[in-house]
Structure 1
Amino acid sequence: MSAAPRIVLFALGGTIASLQGASGRAVAGAMTGMELIERLDLDLPVTLEVETLAQKPSNAITFDDLFLVRDLAAQAVAEGAAGVVISQGTDTLEDSAFLMDLICDLPQAGLVLTGAQRVPYAPGSDAAPNIRDAITTAASRAAQGAGALLVFDQEIHEARHVRKVSSHRLGGFGSPGHGALGTLDGEFVDLRRPAPWDKPRFTTLQPPLPRVDILPAAMQASPKLLRAAVESGAQGLVLDGMGRGQVPPDWLPEIAQLRQDGVPVAITSSTLSGRLAEDYDYPGCLADLKALGVTPMDEITARKARLLMMCDLAAARPTPA
């Protein structure tokens, strides 16, 4: 009989590790990872190791936390782990999944992130099912080398497309316009490979990452915000554009000046799905932005485009002598 696969769970806190506070409200991350696993009383055919790296709510997760997970995950796999699971709060779970997909490469192991919408002490909590499914996925052959996967509500999502789609429902995550990569039914994992994407890898990158700001395009949004962001320290900008990649027409002079000053600028779409396209010919359209040297970032959210630009800028900085 073959040995049970070894899975390492790195716990960062979040709703999934909450306890009820004196106020009656949840204290996110109050439990350690081991306390959570003991409370859930899971019965899985794996050898599970648990390491608590943080006990934070999701809004307090940092890049340093994730780079530490990256390094420890690589070490765990080098020492024989078949898979890695990361548990944290859901509000930044899609960000963490995308960044881990960029900075962590585990071709011989599964890499899975999960969390919960309901605290573990609430009736009908999804904490135990999501942890169980994440561990099951990480241990599966299908997950090996598939990049960072997000497991939630019996679905498996690709880091590139997944996003939080509900603030409270158990089906809290989806991949609008693309759908899940797979599903789980108990110990059965049905997972297809993600579509090819020539994504960069930043496996040797080290923090800190340069600051990049997101500017949402909206009706009569002020172009002064772009200059203010750069003057206050942003080294790059992501424009969360409208439709196919449009911004208000009076943004163009400011964008032109920023590009002339050497500030990298990218454009995404704030829509739930669909590609950017040069379909239009009017001031503020994608064709105008591209002519100014703005980089289109297709089919990823502004939050993910920001992470990609931060990694790109960090990778391009001179290596210390």
Structure 2
Amino acid sequence: MTDAPQTGTQPKITLIALGGTIASIRSDSGRARAGAMTGEALIAALGLDTPVTLEVETLAQKASNALTFEDLFAVRDAAQRAVAEGAAGVVVSQGTDTLEDSAFLLDMICDLPGAGLVLTGAQRVPYALGSDAGPNIRDAITVAAHPAARGAGALLVFDQEVHEALHVRKVSSHRLRGFESPGHGALGLVDGAFVDMRRPARLPDRFPDLTGPLPRVDILPAAMEASPRLLRAAVDSGARGLVLDGLGRGQVPPDWMPEIAVLREAGVPMAVTSSTLSGRLGPDYDYPGCMAEITALGVLPCDELSARKARLWLACRIAAGV
């Protein structure tokens, strides 16, 4: 619970820009064109006063719905190169819609044991009244330069809070408090130069040697009378793995079980998670479609992972031959 130490030289931080709302300009239609600004133009417009030497690299100028795994592997490589060249930390700016996905994937594939890695974005465009673009970038730089962030994996900084990649979720489409970690709470806080954060929880799986591409893994949402034909259709159309976004403690409709059994017998990797915001899976029940039946077929349980994160985890495992 200490301020970042004052030294005679300013730490070097590298900002890797990918676009997003935080880098928007107003289009001729009056709506926002996400990612239209380069990272260099964004930093120049914000006029930040953080006590660091900031280097900026624009890797993409995309809305977050257009980001790809290839983009994130490029971020991984650029981050590791920046740290090798003396950066004390790396900040990644992008759109918020896939910010939790990027944080989670980078947490698994990017190894920066001696530096901070922080992701951020904005809910309001930089030209809007009360925009959070400047404050979020400023706070992300502050955390990335702080000793507590070194070797902590990918962190997400938003609205003066620090979140771990494992549990953070986007919880609002428009409010400035756009991210929370349901069931766990924020990892820490940022108040000017003051940073207070505990060590994050992280999955034991690490894939720093993966180079991509990642295999296609599809998410199948369980719902009342959802058709089991969707599972077969996903595999027949090219999915290499499936994530069952289960109900409650990890249940699926009873008529999904025969199709799950057939696909598992054929060797299709599967994981199951819960569509709830928080809480562990549990083998508490004994009825068709319960989690105990699913995992007995070799479906991998993903406690407290959203389906989107379970998808990334399973894709990495398949790519790594686990």
Q: TM-score, normalised by structure 2?
A: 0.97
Q: Paired residue for 2:273?
A: 268
Q: Paired residue for 1:96?
A: 102
- For structure 2, which runs of at least 5 residues remain unmatched after alignment? 1-6
Give the distance between the partners of 1:45 and 1:76, measured in 2 at CA. Answer: 18
Q: Which amino acid aligns with 1:21?
A: S
Superposed, 1:244-263 pairs within 5 Å as 244-263=249-268
Give the distance between the partners of 2:134 and 2:235, measured in 1 at CA. Answer: 44
The 3-state SS of whatever aligns with 2:320 is helix
**2:86 matches 1:87:** no
Q: 2:312 aligns with which of 293, 302, 307?
A: 307
The 3-state SS of whatever aligns with 2:288 is coil
Q: Paired residue for 2:286?
A: 281
Q: Which amino acid aligns with 1:248?
A: P
Q: Paired residue for 1:221?
A: 226
Give the distance between the partners of 1:305 and 1:200, measured in 2 at CA. Answer: 12
Give the distance between the partners of 1:124 and 1:203, measured in 2 at CA. Answer: 39
Cα-to-partner distance string for 1:37-87 (whole Å, 9 max, x where unaligned): 010000010000001010000000111111011011111111110000000
Q: 2:244 aligns with which of 239, 243, 252?
A: 239
Deviation at 1:2, TM superposition (A): 2.1
Q: Does the 8 Å contact 2:11/2:88 carry over to 1? A: yes
Moved runs in structure 1, 4+ residues, more than 4 A? none
Q: Paired residue for 2:130?
A: 124
Give the CA RMSD over aligned residues.
0.8
Q: 1:185 aligns with which of 170, 175, 191?
A: 191
Deviation at 1:107, TM superposition (A): 0.7
Equivalenced residues, count: 316
The 3-state SS of whatever aligns with 2:87 is coil
Give the distance between the partners of 1:265 and 1:99, measured in 2 at CA. Answer: 18
Cα-to-partner distance string for 1:197-235 (whole Å, 9 max, x where unaligned): 452111110111110000000000000000000000001
Deviation at 1:291, TM superposition (A): 1.2
Q: Paired residue for 2:53?
A: 47
Give the distance between the partners of 2:101 and 2:196, measured in 1 at CA. Answer: 24
**2:13 matches 1:12:** no
Q: 2:300 aligns with which of 283, 295, 317?
A: 295
Give the distance between the partners of 1:65 and 1:270, measured in 2 at CA. Answer: 27
Superposed, 1:171-210 pairs within 5 Å as 171-195=177-201, 197-210=202-215
Q: Which amino acid aligns with 1:115?
A: G
Structure 1 vs Structure 2: percent identity of aligned residues? 75
The 3-state SS of whatever aligns with 2:45 is helix
Superposed, 1:112-151 pairs within 5 Å as 112-151=118-157
Q: Which amino acid aligns with 2:115?
A: A
Give the distance between the partners of 1:62 and 1:199, measured in 2 at CA. Answer: 24
Q: Paired residue for 2:64?
A: 58
Cα-to-partner distance string for 1:269-304 (whole Å, 9 max, x where unaligned): 000000000111110000110111111010110000
The 3-state SS of whatever aligns with 1:309 is helix
Give the distance between the partners of 2:301 and 2:276, measured in 1 at CA. Answer: 14
